[in-house]
Structure 1
Amino acid sequence: MTDLRSVDLDALADRTGIRVEFYDPAGTRYGFPTFPYHFAPTGLATRRQLRAAGLRPGGHDPVAQILWRHRAQRRIAYLYRLDLAAPKRTATPAQREAIAKALRARRTCRVCGDLKPYYIPRRFGECLDCHEGSQS
């Protein structure tokens, strides 16, 4: 992971004199190696890409970033090394049971006690049937 330069982006700057705004592989401009959207070097991935591959950063800090503009805001995504990524941890049976219990509680009405096929709206605190009955 020593050379993070992009041959295409370097050639563009050399050929046309156009400097790509978010291309800073040395980190001199942004203080961190920076790449434009869709130009991340191979061997680096975002958290979402790691998750899709069944991996996690594994406690390692990001080594680079992607910057892009979305409407008037500057957006950022951190890049992690794939060779240092660890496999995702799986939930234990007790954790899965606790999650299922919590999700079941979100579907149980506090007023009538029925288990609904949808999550009870928090703004009402009761199922839609009970809420409609209390409004009349």
Structure 2
Amino acid sequence: MGRIRAAFYDPEGARWGIPTWWWRGAPAGYATRRQLRAAGLRPGGQPVAAQLMWAGVGGTRVAYLYRLDLAKPKRTATPAQLRAVRAALRARRTCPTCGVVRSYCIPRSLGECVDCAYPQEVAA
């Protein structure tokens, strides 16, 4: 075990407060939020069970780990929620001046579509 890895090895949690391993050194049964999401799971309200630590750019980096056996399945959106999201995204693409639904989100800095904001450039 290298010197850097040894600095982050604390499986009992005596030094860091919770069990700690170096990057890619955690035992099976733990996962990060991103790994849980990829597996179709979520932490489900459980506290952080352990952590990974490594020397990174700007100092020591940390990734929190959750127990796989306590993870719950991801929740899926209801049809009503999906309709609401589609309506909100459509509203962001609708120009308030001309009422045309654009293929891009209307810039908040302009408050209207590019064609309405710069009509002289469209005519040219």
TM-score after normalising by structure 2:
0.85
Q: Kindly state the Cα deviation for residue 133 of structure 1 after the two structures are TM-superposed.
A: 2.8
Hey, what's the Cα distance between the residues in 2 that align with 1:85 and 1:27?
22
- Corresponding residue number in structure 1 for 2:106: 120
- Corresponding residue number in structure 1 for 2:44: 58
Q: Describe the shift of the 1:73–1:117 C-alpha distance in structure 2 as closer, same or farther (beyond 3 A).
A: farther
3-state SS in 2 of match to 1:77 = strand
Q: Per-residue CA shift, 1:26-47, capped at 9, x if unaligned? A: 1122111111211121110001
Hey, what's the Cα distance between the residues in 2 that align with 1:87 and 1:45?
14
Alignment of 1:23-62 (within 5 A): 23-62=9-48
- Corresponding residue number in structure 2 for 1:97: 83
TM-score after normalising by structure 1:
0.78
Q: Per-residue CA shift, 1:28-87, capped at 9, x if unaligned? A: 221111112111211100011000000011111110011223311432221111111111
List gaps (5 residues or longer) in structure 1.
1-11
Hey, what's the Cα distance between the residues in 2 that align with 1:112 and 1:120?
12
List gaps (5 residues or longer) in structure 2.
none
Hey, what's the Cα distance between the residues in 2 that align with 1:87 and 1:69?
32
Identity percentage of aligned residues: 58
Bigger relative contact order, structure 1 or 2, given CA contacts below 8 A and separation 6+? 2
Hey, what's the Cα distance between the residues in 2 that align with 1:38 and 1:132?
53
Hey, what's the Cα distance between the residues in 1 that align with 2:69 and 2:61?
25
Hey, what's the Cα distance between the residues in 1 that align with 2:115 and 2:60?
45
Q: Kindly state the Cα deviation for residue 21 of structure 1 after the two structures are TM-superposed.
A: 2.3
CA RMSD of aligned residues (A): 1.9
Count residues with an aligned counterpart.
120
